[in-house]
Amino acid sequence: MEPSFTELVLPGLKLMVVGMGIVFLFLSLLVWIINVTARLVKSAYPEAEPPRRAGLTVESDEAEQVAVIAAALRLRQGPPA
């Protein structure tokens, strides 16, 4: 006698739920361990604030950008025929 559809699907669904639960628990544990380790490392090796660079602003000239793009396109096309 051939097994019915439900006799095949229900064990498969149970196995899927158990497997997904185990993976979820493992990943949750992994995230927790990483967070605990990060806190331990931060407390063991406190760092000073990184130095901030004051007033670094780059102003670009639109004409210069257009010239650079045009030169790149000319180089890509190869030498003039």
The predicted-structure confidence for 11-31, as pLDDT tens digits, reads as follows 999 999 999 999 999 999 999
Q: Give the per-residue pLDDT at 11.
A: 93
Q: Give the per-residue pLDDT at 63.
A: 72
Q: Which residue has the higher pLDDT, 1 or 23?
A: 23
- Over residues 26-67, the pLDDT tens digits come to 999 999 999 999 999 888 888 766 666 665 555 567 778 878
Q: What is the 3-state secondary structure (H, E, C) of the chain?
A: CCCCHHHHHHHHHHHHHHHHHHHHHHHHHHHHHHHHHHHHHHHHCCCCCCCCCCCCCCCCCHHHHHHHHHHHHHHHHCCCC
Q: Give the per-residue pLDDT at 2.
A: 87
Q: Spell out the domain ranges in the chain.
A: 1-46
